[in-house]
Structure 1
Amino acid sequence: MAHFPLNHPLRPLYRTLAGLTGTYILIFGCVSLTRTVGNTLFSRDSTWALGLRTNLAFAIISVIWGLILVTANLIGGNIEHYTNLAGAVLFMVTGIYMVAFMQTAANFLNFSVSTAILSLVFGLVLLVAGMYDKTGSPERARTEQAFKTTSVPPRTAPRR
């Protein structure tokens, strides 16, 4: 099982980066909606917003995921942790899929090379944020730190 550090000292930086990523995705989705309204859902025409090719379906998905990421990073805690990890997987899988099928009819989100690259970059930012933004109690963080620095786990007081 994967191990994620608790209460990492750079957690606020990672949370900010994930929040900014979500904000950009939300703004991109809103601008895309204004440019693609009236088009068919999976249109393959040359509609661009903020330097990325888009269609109505991609605009709607961007607004939804932008809201999810911004809300989760405002709430914080482990909700933020799991949302960032899920977003990382989603953006990386989507980016790889769209690179593989860019010149075919399977490019239903109307991705271009720049859109696919930015999707992969956002996936990596969210992955790094998700790896280092897990929270826990100070006692649990101390226990984890002691376990990492010694070969014998420390004894903890029994729970009542």
Structure 2
Amino acid sequence: MAHTPVNHPARPIYRAIGGLVGLYYVVFGVLGVIASLGDDFFAQNDTRSLGQGTNLAFSLLAIGIGAAVLAGTVLGRNRDVVINGYLAYALMAIGLAALAFIQTDANILNFSIATVVVTLTLALVLLMVSMYGKVGTEEEKEAWEKARLVL
């Protein structure tokens, strides 16, 4: 039995929040591509998008992440839960790795501290959205409620 709620009353709100995170990544990525046109793919310079350090590689990655989150939000029916969960953990790994290499030549995505903070924050938001967006049958909801009350 999973410990995440099924058919949470605020599920539509969490789904909308997930969609906003996806939209943010798409907008950030598009603006980053525009700002970094003409630079190298893994350039390490002062290119900024929405106040965050970026380069062409991270901008395209952000567009892909945002498109995946938006696709999951549109598809729904627990596909968004899986997509948001995996992307949340991937973004946490990317953000922590970028923090570890931020002042080295290994900072291939041109992260700044602001980029790390935003990436980790949005990863936690996506994780929260994935935890409370699960849809199930009434039997699954009742089983979850019974298990929750036993704890």
Q: Same fold (TM over 0.5)?
A: yes
CA distance in 1: counterparts of 2:118 and 2:16, whole angstroms:
18
Moved over 4 A (4+): none
Q: Which runs of 5+ in 1 are unaligned?
A: 152-160
Relative contact order, higher structure (CA 8 A, sep 6+): 2
Q: State the Cα RMSD in Å.
A: 1.5
Q: What is the CA-CA distance between 1:50 and the residue it aligns to?
A: 1.0
Aligned to 1:35: 35
Paired positions, count: 151
Q: Aligned in 2, Cα 1:2/1:148: closer, same or farther, shift over 3 Å? A: closer
Matching residue's letter, 1:32: G
Deviates more, 1:23-32 or 1:131-140: 131-140
Q: Does residue 51 of the first structure (1) align with residue 51 of the second (2)?
A: yes
Displacement, 1:85?
0.4
Q: Provide the rounded CA distance (Å) in 1 between the counterparts of 2:129 and 2:3.
A: 14
The structure with more radius of gyration: 1
**Superposition TM-score, scaled by structure 2 size:** 0.94
Q: SS of 1:77's equivalent?
A: coil
Structure-to-structure mapping, 1:125-144, within 5 angstroms: 125-144=125-144
Q: Distance in 1 between matches of 2:150 and 2:101?
A: 49
| Structure 1: distance between partners of 2:111 and 2:138 | 44
Instruction: Please report the TM-score for the alignment, with normalisation by the length of structure 1.
Output: 0.89
Secondary structure at 1:146's aligned position in 2? helix
Distance in 2 (CA, whole Å) between partners of 1:50 and 1:144 is 41
Structure 2 residue runs without a partner (length 5+)? none
What is the deviation of 1:141? 1.1
SS of structure 1 residue aligned to 2:78:
helix
- Rounded Cα–Cα distance in structure 2 between residues aligned with 1:64 and 1:144: 34
Match of 1:93 in 2: 93
